[in-house]
Chains A and B, each alone.
Chain A
Amino acid sequence: MPYQIIVCGGLAPDPLQTLEPVFDPARPSLKNELMLPAVFDPWAAHALYEAGHLARQHPGSVVRVVSLAPKAKLQQVMMTVAQKLPLELVALDGPGGGFTDAAAVAAALADAIAAMPDLDRSRLLLFGGWESATRGAGAVMQRVAERLGITEQFLAVDELSVEADGSLLVKERIEGGRHQISRCSSPPVMLAWATGNLPEPPNHPQTGMANMRVIMPALQKAKPVALEPAAEFLRTALPSVIRQTRVVKDVPAAEIAREIAEWIRQ
């Protein structure tokens, strides 16, 4: 059965950057936020790789990415993401980062999905990250699903497989390193992915060039979205960091473990 897989995913500053919050009377933000290198949110990226894999297993499936982010940054990030797997894009031009309200973001995403003219709910798999690298509210995907009337919701998903009868087998991460396994008879279903278990696909310039023929028009049509802040931020600050780094090579695992244990004892 071909699926309509919709992946909700925003942008996050490249996790390798040093981020610094700044606070002005309007709202907090990151210093030079629009000039920081950005990536597709790593949590959503796992969902996207899983979506691409599932789509290839079920011919006729399509992967659509719905993304709320500053348009210029979204275009830049898409130049990399589009090289990884075939996808379509629904772009919403609005504020990104960690200082947006989960309910407002969810409403904008749900409205964009509901407005898709050819949406077939009987084949709809709604994917997203369980949390976000910008702010781990862990609430957006549930709210999107609720607004779309999708009651089958799975959080912290690590694995999805389609059974012979078309039912979906979902592994959700629970406490103690265990999985809760559920069977769901059919779409529509929402899956908020944890880490998944697929690697990041390598870049494939051919895929990218093909994707951009549909992504560029989508970006040009990006609908502006203004998110009203529902929360009042009182202050922002960098977390205090304590780091003792020593880079070693060729040290046996047992020696590293002994050293860590000794450090913990101290």
Chain B
Amino acid sequence: MHEELTDQPQAQPLDADIVCTGFGPAVAGFLRTLTQGLQKPEMAGVESKAMPGLPPQIVCYERADDISFGVSGVVTRARAIRNSIPGLDPAEIPLAARVRDEQLIYLLDPWGVTRRPAWMRLADQLCRAFSGVLGVAHEGLALPWVPEFLHKQDGFIFSLGQFNQWVGQQVMMSGLAQIWPATPVASPLIEEDRVAGVRLAADGSEVRAALTVVGDGPVGAVGRQLDGHFGMPAGHRRDEWAVGMKMVIDLPESCTLEEGTVWHTIGFPEPEIFGFLYVHPGRIASAGIFVPSWMDSPVRTSYRYLQHFIQHPYLWRHLKGGRLRSWGAKSLLESGRRGEPFLAGHGYARIGECSGSTNVLTGSGVDEAWLTGTQLAEAVLELLREGKPFTRENLENTYVARRRASWLERESQTAERARNGFQWGLLPGFLGMALAGLTGGRLSLPRPREDRHPKKLADYYAGRLSRSEIERARRRAEAEARPLHDILMDLCGWPPVEYDGQLLVSHQDALLMGGKVQAPADFPDHVVFRSPQLCLQCEAHLCVEICSGEAIRISPENPAGVPAFDREKCVHCGACLWNCPVSNIEFCAAPGGLHSAEN
């Protein structure tokens, strides 16, 4: 054997003018607008301060192995994207299509197993009794209208991964920005009240820059460390989340759904879980669910819910015979504007989902993230042109001022209290959302003093399973190394999933078929349990039950102990981070993660 390649150069500080963390839609919008702006004649005299004589040095570091990895099917009105790219033809981007037919579907409970409240069971009965009048078919009711605030008319269906790559290629071909994949950023360089750049995880290199653009998503290491250091604005908190889990499916020949079809669903597989189905060009569909943090189940593995969702008769008639093409999961920051951090400070600015741009009322975020990126780029161009430094005041007067004056701010205010009702329960949740949406945010429900947390198992299953049954299930899960959720769902009457080897496959096969995981050997584990003692005291082990890849498991040999983490299965969704009831998980920067062609 040869010796290992260890004689790499010593890490020296690198100098740039602008350094970005993460390459998602926000940074894509930022870099595209910035690089295009730098090519305009009025910017000809602007040169790099880090490397005088050259154009501004702009680098972007992305954690994933390529810039095309992003786990989301997106339906968006794309107002900001279309504004940036006039005449955008979706045919240029794989899997992109115009929204043609949009519907909101109420899914009945076909098997009588969901945790429906009495009013929803009554609604099911009424739907069935008056099916002919109401047009109920295949256990689903297409509601006669989609509320205006939900509508995506004139919008697009995207694959976020394909869109990112499409934009990324344009940015890099400009020659004015470098996007480095497989290069996670470990932390910001904070010097007193100023951000001076970032530190890379690979070798600890410091990249010093006059401006650090933080767009590393809801669970990004840099954004979370900035929140820890600078705190949050008064009254702002990040405490509402969801796991988004999605399959990309090759539709069977028999499927008659046309490209551009968009279905939003409510009511199944649990009343708290929202679902969607979008049809892309080329007989491909994205189907997925959002499992929100206000669902108070202590066991809520999303994958099995997703399998039952696609088997609902209303969807299954179109999906049966299809093939799993891709699969993935991610955390969504549902706190929206309420979770907005300080948007700018000395030497840094926040954009995208980690800046609270998600519109929680419409459940959309990509176009909003893109808009924040373009607003920051316009601000940066203005400051560069005028030779002004990236101070807090200058960034607030340019970037933050643009954001406050835009439709994003108006809609964020409308949506800010739209989810409050869900803290009280499901019916108040829907009412609160409708109230806020239909009145433009003027009316909304108040928020309870205490946030809603998952119940204890015995309380959650009260009336359905006895304590002894739950205890036996727990022992079985430990012995068989199965998710407890699976066993409890079986006991509650959920039908077994009949694997067909094509679309219905085991969770582990889904990792191999559509969500292939790459775990580099030269990085330490990125999910770390800080205090073993806290894990030993934890009964819930929500980290295990919510894990999107079954990467966190309780070892049969050590059932009460610290969970074991297997990074070869981790899809980097980050759900463990916000579900840990004792805040004992550190989710560090790491490369790798999910490899799927068509996210």
A interface residues (Cβ-Cβ under 8 A, vs B): 14, 16-19, 31-32, 35-38, 49, 52-53, 56, 71-73, 75-76, 79-80, 83, 85, 197-199, 201-210, 212, 216, 220, 245-247, 249
Chain-A contact segment, one of B41-49, B139-147, B164-172, B442-450: B164-172
Tell whether, in the assembled complex, residue B67 and residue A76 are in contact, meaning their CB atoms are under 8 Å apart: yes
Q: How far is the CB of B582 from chain A (nearest CB, A)?
A: 26
- Shortest distance in angstroms between B123's beta carbon and chain A's nearest beta carbon? 40
10 contacts between A and B (CB under 8 A): A16-B516, A16-B595, A18-B325, A18-B513, A32-B95, A35-B94, A83-B183, A197-B1, A206-B14, A209-B14
Contact B516 A206 (CB under 8 A): no
Q: Does B258 contact A (CB under 8 A)?
A: no
12 further A-B contacts with Cβ under 8 Å, apart from A19-B597, A79-B179, are A35-B165, A56-B7, A72-B172, A75-B172, A76-B66, A76-B169, A79-B180, A85-B5, A202-B8, A203-B202, A204-B202, A205-B207
Contact assessment for A206 and B518 in the assembled complex, using a CB-CB cutoff below 8 Å: no
Residue among A36, A37, A49, A85 with the highest chain B CB neighbour number at 10 A: A37
A52 contact set on B, CB distance < 8 A: 5
Complex CA gap A57/B140 in Å reads: 69
Cα–Cα distance between A75 and B180 once the two chains are bound (Å) = 11
B175 contacts the other chain (CB 8 A) = yes
Residues in B neighbouring A202, C-beta threshold 8 A: 8, 202, 520, 522
Which residue among A17, A80, A203, A212 has the maximum number of chain B CB atoms within 10 Å of its CB? Answer: A203
* Cβ contact within 8 Å between B180 and A205: yes
Any A CB within 8 A of the CB of B234: no
Tell me the complex Cα distance, A71–B175, Å: 12
Taking a contact as CB atoms closer than 8 A, the residue among B14, B61, B508, B597 that contacts A17 in the complex is B597
Interface of B with A (CB < 8 Å)? 1-2, 4-5, 7-9, 11-12, 14, 59, 61, 65-69, 93-95, 162, 165-166, 168-169, 172-173, 175, 178-183, 200, 202-203, 205, 207, 282, 325-326, 508-509, 511-514, 516, 518, 520, 522, 566, 591, 595-598
Are B169's CB and A72's CB within 8 A?
yes
The number of residue pairs between A and B whose CB atoms lie closer than 8 Å in the complex comes to: 130
Instruction: For residue B328, give the distance in angstroms from its CB to the closest CB of chain A.
Output: 13
| Docked complex Cα distance between A32 and B163 (Å) | 12
The one of A36, A53, A80, A204 that contacts B181, using a Cβ cutoff of 8 Å: A80
A38: chain B residues within 8 A (beta carbon): 66
Nearest Cβ on chain B to A33's Cβ, whole angstroms:
10
3 tightest CB-CB pairs across the interface, nearest first?
A37-B66, A16-B516, A16-B595
A14 contacts which chain B residues (CB < 8 A)? 65-66, 595, 597
Which residues of B are found within 8 Å of A207, using beta-carbon distances? 8-9
Contact A205 B14, beta carbon cutoff 8 Å:
yes
A83-B183, A209-B14 as given contacts; A35 in contact with B5, CB under 8 Å: no
A83 contacts which of B182, B207, B514 (Cβ < 8 Å)?
B182
Residues in B with CB closer than 8 Å to A85 are 5
For residue A75, which residue of chain B has the nearest CB?
A: B172
Closest partner residue, chain B, to A196 (CB atom): B2
Q: Establish whether residues B67 and A204, one from each chain, have CB atoms under 8 Å apart when the complex forms.
A: no
Task: Specify which of B203, B509, B514, B595 is in contact with A204 (CB 8 Å cutoff).
Answer: B203
Give every chain A residue within 8 A of B205 (Cβ-Cβ).
205-206
User: Do residues A76 and B168 form an inter-chain contact, with CB atoms below 8 A?
Assistant: yes
Q: Contacts A14-B66, A212-B178 hold; do A205 and B200 have CB atoms under 8 A apart? A: yes
B512, A245: Cβ atoms closer than 8 Å? yes
Would you call B175 and A204 a contact (CB within 8 A)? no
Q: For residue B94, which residues in chain A have a CB less than 8 angstroms away from its CB? A: 32, 35
Which residue of chain A has the shortest Cβ distance to B513 in the bound complex?
A18
What A residues does B511 contact at CB under 8 A?
Answer: 247
- What residues of chain A lie closer than 8 Å to B202, measured between beta carbons? 83, 202-205
CB distance from A13 to the nearest CB of B (A): 8
